[in-house]
Amino acid sequence: MSRILSNTRGRSYSRLCPVQGPEAGDPPQKRFSGVVPPPALIFLALLFSTGAIVWLDHKENLPILLLHPREVTADETPPPDEPSDICKNQRRPPAGSEALPRGIVQDKSNFEFESLGPNPERKEAPPAKSLLAIPVGIKQKAVVDKLVSKFPAANFTVMLFHYDGAVDGWSDLPWSRRAVHVAAADQTKWWFGKRFLHPDLVAEYDYVFLWDDDIEVDGFDPLRYLEIVRKEGLEISQPALDSRSKIHHRLTVRARRGGAVHRRFYKTAGGGRCYGNSTGPPCTGWVEMMVPVFSRAAWQCAWRMIQNDLVFAWGLDYKLGYCAQGDRKMNVGIVDREYVLHRGIPTLGDAGAGKTATAARRSAVRQRSYTEMQIFNRRWKEAVAEDECWTDPYPEPATATTKD
């Protein structure tokens, strides 16, 4: 045991000194007091008892302390999350980019041309634009020229899908150099759309116009059209067809009376009747496939429904309402105030062969289209049956068979 000794100047210092215990000849009182005096023994006993009580009380209150953690006051800042917690809460990175730092990943693109000169980070933010994509053949050059010229360059990016491969024949048109040209012989609009209009490539465009090349636009203004679409809340739409057009479904014919848009069609006689209580295509919630216009969100859905091997997309039109971002009876419509003329000229299957060969090829195209529709409908039914987590928002019969 060490004792604390004082030096001559009043400063204390520590020194190891042996403690002198009682000697054999000392009386009992001296031997006892030399080890621990009685007052000190009483003090230690009291201290031991008090400490035990305090310790027991602390142990009994420990669960209460755990159930009621100290609250953080307004003047205090909670500690930041650990790096591991931050990483756990991050959105999963796009597939293939897991090896990269998140900030360098760009999973979206567009079809805008880039200058080869100035600093790309100093350019101004581009204005909002939409995309006009058309499958074209050189025989429809004059019609397409007139169509594209209606779409202002400041508001629309143009993309041409050359199904006859004749790209050079368009170079003399003033807008040709600002258009994106893609060539693949004898392929359809939906073949091109599935392969070159992935949602990540068109994510910057407000609307996607996916039109045929036999459309006349004398009564059509694209900017006024989009004003109506936005005002009416249409996610999937088409301009109405002039009555002189090649008509397949009466719903798409321009209504000369009424407002800027119509959303349903009435037919009370003959086959395929449509009444006021009809809830689905082709009575309501439906557009044809020659001049559809998709919002960004609707195209993200529709692109994923296009089957990679079903290039004519027959049957797809009856399911587009599922991509309307809500009630298809309200979010799908025909714009009457801006209308077009559908010439209905068959193009695919005509490769410059004789009349007999051309007729045979067109017949094969039509048969392929019917076959694709049957395949698509079968795949839809199988997908619905297999997906136990999916609920059909339109479970009732789409078309009413009786009047209200």
Residue-wise DSSP of 165-226 = ---GGGTTSTTGGGSEEEE-TT--HHHHHHHH--TTTSTTEEEEEE--SSEE-TT--HHHHH
Q: What is the pLDDT of residue 356?
A: 63
Query: Which among 199, 189, 179 has a CA at the least distance from the CA of 112?
Result: 179
How far from chain centre, in Å, is Cα 295?
Answer: 12
**How crowded is residue 249: how many other Cβ atoms within 10 Å of its Cβ?**
16
Tokens of 83: 């790096």
CA distance 260 to 225: 10
Strand partners, 180: 159
Question: Rounded mean pLDDT of the chain?
Answer: 81
* Residue 14 clears pLDDT 90, i.e. is over it: no
- Please report, to the nearest 10 degrees, the dihedral formed by the alpha carbons of residues 24, 29, 32, 35 taken in order: -90
Helix or strand (DSSP H, E) at 323: none
**How crowded is residue 267: how many other Cβ atoms within 10 Å of its Cβ?**
16
Q: For 3-17, 179-193, 385-399, which range has the lowest pLDDT when averaged over its residues?
A: 3-17
Residues ≥6 apart with Cβ < 8 Å to 207: 130, 131, 226, 229, 293, 294, 295, 296
The string of pLDDT tens digits covering residues 223-233 is 999 999 999 99
Categorize the per-residue pLDDT at 54 as very low, low, confident or very high, splitting at 50, 70 and 90: very low
Region 376-380 average pLDDT: 97
The dihedrals phi and psi of 98, each to the nearest 5 degrees, come to: -60, -25
Q: What is the pLDDT of residue 40?
A: 57
Q: What is the pLDDT of residue 80?
A: 59
Categorize the per-residue pLDDT at 272 as very low, low, confident or very high, splitting at 50, 70 and 90: confident
Beta carbons of 400 and 277 less than 8 angstroms apart: yes
CA distance 290 to 293: 10
**Cis peptide leading into 282, omega within 30 of 0?**
yes
The string of pLDDT tens digits covering residues 120-149 is 776 677 778 999 999 999 999 999 999 999
Beta carbons of 208 and 130 less than 8 angstroms apart: yes
* Residue 70 clears pLDDT 60, i.e. is over it: no
Q: What is the pLDDT of residue 242?
A: 93
Q: What is the pLDDT of residue 13?
A: 42
Categorize the per-residue pLDDT at 45 as very low, low, confident or very high, splitting at 50, 70 and 90: low
Query: Which among 402, 388, 187, 149 has a CA at the least distance from the CA of 275?
Result: 402
Q: What is the pLDDT of residue 263?
A: 93
How many residues appear in the chain? Answer: 404
**How crowded is residue 358: how many other Cβ atoms within 10 Å of its Cβ?**
15
Helix or strand (DSSP H, E) at 89: helix 83-89
* Residue 386 clears pLDDT 70, i.e. is over it: yes
Categorize the per-residue pLDDT at 221 as very low, low, confident or very high, splitting at 50, 70 and 90: very high
The string of pLDDT tens digits covering residues 225-267 is 999 999 999 999 999 999 888 888 888 999 877 789 999 988 8
- Give the burial class of 34: count Cβ atoms within 10 A of its Cβ; 0-12 exposed, 13-18 middle, 19 or more buried: middle
Q: What is the pLDDT of residue 398?
A: 53
* Residue 382 clears pLDDT 90, i.e. is over it: yes
Q: What is the pLDDT of residue 71?
A: 59
Beta carbons of 165 and 237 less than 8 angstroms apart: no
Side-chain half-sphere exposure of 215, counting CA atoms within 13 A: 27
Beta carbons of 205 and 133 less than 8 angstroms apart: no
- Measured distance between the N- and C-terminal CA atoms of the chain, rounded to whole angstroms: 107
Tokens of 359: 């007729």
Q: Give the highest mean pLDDT range of 14-23, 89-98, 329-338.
A: 329-338
CA distance 70 to 279: 58
Higher pLDDT, 105 or 333: 333
CA distance 41 to 60: 29
* Residue 22 clears pLDDT 90, i.e. is over it: no
50 three-state secondary structure: helix
Q: What is the pLDDT of residue 46?
A: 54
The string of pLDDT tens digits covering residues 83-92 is 566 676 677 7
Categorize the per-residue pLDDT at 59 as very low, low, confident or very high, splitting at 50, 70 and 90: very low
The string of pLDDT tens digits covering residues 158-207 is 999 999 999 999 999 999 999 999 999 999 999 999 999 999 999 999 99
Higher pLDDT, 339 or 361: 339
Residues ≥6 apart with Cβ < 8 Å to 39: none
For the chain, what is the radius of gyration of the CA atoms?
A: 41
